[in-house]
């Protein structure tokens, strides 16, 4: 009876020790703070290009007069 009990105890501890398996460590990345640029500053370049194209296009119509 004692041998059977000790065999069950050893079998129980052996299976629970290996039940978890290998778990890879999780490395958390540090948070990255992104600063947003002002959206109003980025609109001036396309507006300036449109105005320049409009001025250049309007100057070509006066050649005939």
pLDDT in tens, 22-53: 778 888 888 888 877 665 667 888 899 999 99
The sign one gets for the Cα dihedral 30, 31, 37, 39 is positive
pTM over 0.85: no
For the chain, give me the number of helices (H) and strands (E)? 2, 0
pLDDT digits (tens, 9 = 90+) for 6-28: 887 777 766 555 556 777 888 88
d(CA 23, CA 29): 18
């Amino acid at each position: 009876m004692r041998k059977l009990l000790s065999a069950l105890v050893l079998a129980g501890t052996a299976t629970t020790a290996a039940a978890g398996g290998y778990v890879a460590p999780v490395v958390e990345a540090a948070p990255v703070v992104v600063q947003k640029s002002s959206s109003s500053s980025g609109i001036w370049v396309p507006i300036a290009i449109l105005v320049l194209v409009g001025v250049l296009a309007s100057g070509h119509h006066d050649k005939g007069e």
